[in-house]
Structures are given as structure tokens and as C-alpha cells.
């Protein structure tokens, strides 16, 4: 989920913690727990700092090891102990339990996004992206804001957020069933399906879909249950030649390949260089595919420039490539 949603979830879990008699009866412990749940709800995304290096490092590692099983266990212990050093009178066990819950919920609510996480590490590095909840869901966010407002006006935070989370669970089930219905309709219309990537939009009734079959990619939208195919591409593997072997050694291309399961490629030849471009097909927006990886290679098989990330205009992409040898 987005940062704002994780923050309000951290506050909500702190409110939910007041159902714990130990937290309810000890204001100092409550303050420590609230700090722990807010920090814990953000902790797995501390790897966002990697973006300061470059997009390649960020894309390859964001929601990776920091969302893994060992990291989830570590975050709760680490944060609770740091807070306990600052508030030694607080009950460490209860502090840890609620902080750890905030961390676990952070990872769990990231899994249903189209972006996904590597939550099953160290057992597998496979990205888990179920694709039935938008990265920013206005309904989930608004429910939390409403609960926080009610708390500020005197409502019991424990019972308020208990009811809200019951509604959120039902909402997740509903969205999952929506996705299942979409997948079933697609399966009824296409044969030789290899993979279906769904991506909900901010609108409840509209979804993006990228369908991989044995021979083709189909990109479409689903609105009010109606499937519309917007683009079709032949499914052609990356060539096994010198140009592509060199391209795959570039950090930006490698990062893209580690993250994107549904993409097409193209090669453009210019006077001084050849450009290899990989295009993720899951995020079609305004007739464009904004998530790309590009590498420029000269006639002597030297990498000149490369970039990967979200680009919404060709002019913006060229400005990124012109930054220098190590664009970010």
C-alpha cells in the first residue's frame, strides 16, 4: 500500500491495542505501543532509501528482503527493544506483540497489490502480487481516517477499529471475488493461457488486465464486467545474440527483468547507437506503457546509457538517458 495508508493503519492498530487490558490500564505503555505500531507499520518500507542510489537498486530490492519472513520477525523485536530503551517501564512483551502485528499487517496488505512483495523469502525470491487491491484504495484509507476522527471525538478506539477491520476484511474478500470473476471470464474467452495479471484501478468497477497466452500478449481493461482488449502483441522471447546478452548485463535491464513478468521488447537503430527497450504491459495508462527499461549500446558493443522506471513521456525518458553514464 502507499505510505499514507500504512501510517493510518499504524495509528489504527495503536487504537486497537487499547483492547489489551495491559495497554488500556497503563498510559505509558499505550504511548510506547502507539509509537511501536506507527513505526512498525512503516518499517518494511525503510528500503525506500535505496531510491537515493538509483532506480535499478530500488526496483530490484524494494519490497524484497525487508518484507521477507526473517525481516518481519526482526522488525518487531528491533523496534520494540529500541522503544523499550527509551521507555524502560513499559511492558516489553505487550509492546513487542502490537509492534510485530503492525509489521505483519504491513506485509499482508502489500501482497494483494499488483506490485507485490517477496514475502516468501528466504524460501523463494518469487514476487507475490495477487492484484486485487489498488496500491492506494480510497475506501480503505477513508475508513481509517473516519476511525481516527471518531477516536478524536471520543469514540472507543478499540471497538471502533475492531469494527473497521471487520469491514476491511469483508472488503478484501469482496475484491478477491471480483478478481476471480474477471479471471474466469478471461479463461472462458482465451485458450492456452499462461498467466493473467490483474491490476485494479482507483475506480471500483474498472480493472487493467495483461493476459499471456502461448503465442500472444493481450492488454485490456475490464469495466462493469465487460472485457475490452486494447492491444495485442506477439509473444517473442528475448533473442540470444550479442546485443541482448550485453543488454542483460546492464543494471537497469537486469532490475527490470527481475521484477516484470509480462513485457515485450523492441530494438531501435540510430546513427550512433542501438536502443533496446523493454516495456511492462501491466500498467497501461492513457494509451501508454509507462514502466520501461532502456539501454543504449554503441557500434563497439559498449553501453552508453540506460534507465528503468516510470516514464510518462518520451521527452522525459530522453532527459533521463542524457544524465550521464549512471542515470537515476
Mean pLDDT by 10 residues, the chain (328 residues): 95 98 96 98 86 73 86 96 96 98 96 88 88 94 98 97 97 96 94 93 92 96 93 95 96 91 94 94 90 94 93 81 50
Give 156's DSSP letter.
-
pLDDT, position 322: 65
Q: What is the DSSP letter of 68?
A: S
Q: What does the block give as the cell for 186?
A: 478471461
The whole-number pLDDT of residue 69 equals: 94
- Sheet hosting strand 226-234, strand order edge to edge: 193-200, 206-213, 216-223, 226-234
- Residue-level pLDDT at 62: 74
- The reported pLDDT for the residue numbered 51 is 66
* pLDDT at residue number 317: 81
Could you report how far apart the first and last alpha carbons of the chain are, in Å?
24
Predicted local distance difference test score (pLDDT) of residue 323:
47
The Cα angle at residue 143 between residues 142 and 145, in degrees rounded to 5:
60
- Bridge partners, 307 (sequence order): 294
* Ordered DSSP codes for 228-288: EEEEEEE--PPP-SHHHHHHTTSHHHHHHHHH-SSEEEEEEE-SSEEEEEEEESS--BTTB
| CB neighbour list of residue 20: distance below 8 Å, 6 or more residues apart | 94, 98
DSSP state of 206: E
Q: What is the pLDDT of residue 52?
A: 66
What are the two backbone dihedrals, phi and then psi, of residue 221, each rounded to the nearest 5 degrees?
Answer: -130, 155
Q: Give me the sheet containing 263-269, strands edge to edge.
A: 263-269, 273-280, 291-298, 303-310
Q: What is the pLDDT of residues 281-290, one digit of tens each?
A: 998 988 899 9
Determine the pLDDT at residue 21: 97
Coil, strand or helix at 1:
coil
* pLDDT at position 215: 95
> Structure pTM?
0.87
Give the per-residue pLDDT at 327: 41
**Can the peptide bond before residue 298 be classed as cis, meaning omega within 30 degrees of 0?**
no
Amino acid at each position: 500500500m502507499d505510505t499514507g495508508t500504512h501510517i493510518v493503519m499504524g495509528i489504527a492498530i495503536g487504537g486497537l491495542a487499547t483492547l489489551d487490558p495491559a495497554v488500556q490500564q497503563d498510559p505509558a505503555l499505550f504511548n510506547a505501543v502507539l509509537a511501536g505500531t506507527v513505526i512498525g507499520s512503516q518499517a518494511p518500507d525503510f528500503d525506500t532509501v535505496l531510491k537515493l542510489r538509483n532506480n535499478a537498486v530500488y526496483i530490484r530490492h524494494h519490497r524484497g528482503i525487508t518484507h521477507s519472513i526473517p525481516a518481519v520477525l526482526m522488525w518487531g523485536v528491533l523496534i520494540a527493544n529500541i522503544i523499550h530503551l527509551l521507555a524502560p517501564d513499559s511492558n516489553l512483551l505487550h509492546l513487542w506483540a502490537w509492534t510485530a502485528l503492525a509489521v505483519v499487517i504491513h506485509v499482508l496488505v502489500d501482497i494483494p497489490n499488483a506490485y507485490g512483495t517477496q514475502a516468501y523469502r528466504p524460501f523463494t525470491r518469487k514476487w507475490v502480487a495477487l492484484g486485487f487491491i489498488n496500491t492506494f484504495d480510497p475506501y480503505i484509507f477513508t475508513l481509517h481516517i473516519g476511525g481516527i476522527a471518531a477516536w478524536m471525538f471520543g469514540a472507543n478506539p478499540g471497538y471502533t477499529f475492531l469494527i473497521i477491520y471487520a469491514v476491511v476484511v469483508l472488503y478484501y474478500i469482496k475484491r478477491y471475488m471480483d478478481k476471480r470473476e474477471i479471471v474466469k471470464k478471461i479463461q472462458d474467452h482465451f485458450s492456452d493461457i499462461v498467466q493473467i495479471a490483474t491490476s485494479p484501478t482507483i475506480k471500483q468497477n474498472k480493472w487493467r488486465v495483461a493476459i499471456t497466452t502461448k503465442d500472444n500478449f493481450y492488454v485490456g481493461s475490464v469495466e462493469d464486467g465487460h472485457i475490452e482488449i486494447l492491444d495485442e502483441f506477439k509473444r517473442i522471447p528475448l533473442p540470444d545474440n550479442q546485443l541482448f546478452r550485453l543488454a542483460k548485463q546492464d543494471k537497469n535491464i537486469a532490475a527490470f527483468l527481475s521484477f516484470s513478468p509480462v513485457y515485450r521488447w523492441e530494438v531501435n537503430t540510430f546513427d550512433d547507437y542501438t536502443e533496446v527497450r523493454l516495456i511492462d504491459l501491466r500498467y497501461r495508462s492513457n494509451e501508454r506503457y509507462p514502466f520501461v527499461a532502456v539501454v543504449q549500446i554503441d557500434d563497439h558493443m559498449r553501453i552508453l546509457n540506460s534507465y528503468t522506471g516510470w516514464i510518462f513521456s518520451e521527452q522525459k525518458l530522453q532527459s533521463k538517458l542524457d544524465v550521464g553514464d549512471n542515470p537515476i
